[in-house]
Structures are given as C-alpha cells and as structure tokens.
Amino acid sequence: MTNYEKYLNVFVESFSVSADDAVNLEYQGIPEWDSVGHMGLVAAVEDTFDIMLDTDDIIDFSSFVKGKEILSKNYNIEF
C-alpha cells in the first residue's frame, strides 16, 4: 500500500465514509468528525505511520488536505 492509500484508508475506517467522500472531509463537516472523532483519527494516523504528532499539528489537522500537508512537511512522509 502506498502512503496515500494508507492515509486515505485511515479516514475511510475512522469515519465510515467512501474514499470519494474522504478526500473532501473537514473537521466538523460530518457528525463523526467532532472532537471525539478527531482523537480517534489522530490515534489511527499515529499508529499507521508510527509517528507522534505534536500538539500544534493535532490542532492544525483540520481537513483531509491539511493533514496530508502536515504529514509531508513535518514528518517526512512522502505522498
């Protein structure tokens, strides 16, 4: 699986959404992605990529797109 596939899969699994919907997701855009969902998402991202996100990155992780940007910029994950 590529990093992109892994990343996409985290969203699909965490929020029970389709891949098409996942790429457009934003924080609070769906009921599943509230603060509780965010905590689950962060845990899943950390497990998947074996990283520990910083506080600033956790609270900045406000959309599918933004999250990808954070991972590539601050955690050297290539997409």
Partner 1 sequence: MVWEFARYKDNTALTDEWDTHVTYGELDKIGEDIRRAVGERCLVFVMCQNRIGSVVGYASFVFHGIVPVLLSSHLEKELLDNLIRMYEPKYIWAPEEQMAEYDSYDCEKVYGIYGYSLLKTGFETEHPLNDELCLLLTTSGSTGSPKFVRQSYANVESNARSIVEYLKIDENEKPITTLPMNYTYGLSIINSHFMVGAKILMTDKGLMQKEFWNFFRSEEATSFGGVPYTYEMLERLRFFQMDLPSLRYMTQAGGKLTPELHKKFAEYAEQTGKEFIVMYGQCEATARMGYLPAEKALEKCGSMGVAIPGGEFHLIDDNGNVVAEPHVTGELVYEGANVTLGYAECGADLMKGDERGGVLRTGDMAQFDEEGYYYIVGRKKRFLKIYGNRVNLEEIDHMIKGKFGNIECASTGKDDHMYIFVTEEAIAGEVKNFVVSMTKLNPAAFKTIVVDKIPKNDSGKTLYRELAKYYE
Residues that bind partner 1 (CB under 8 A): 16, 27, 31-32, 34-40, 42-43, 54-56, 58-60, 62
Residue whose CB is less far from partner 1, 1 or 36: 36
The overall longest dimension of the chain from CA atoms, in Å, is 31
DSSP string spanning 27-66? TTSSTTSSHHHHHHHHHHHHHHHT----HHHHHH--BHHH
Residue whose CB is less far from partner 1, 5 or 54: 54
Contact 27, 70 (CB under 8 A): no
Residue whose CB is less far from partner 1, 50 or 78: 50
Output the smallest distance, CB 7 to partner 1, in A. 19
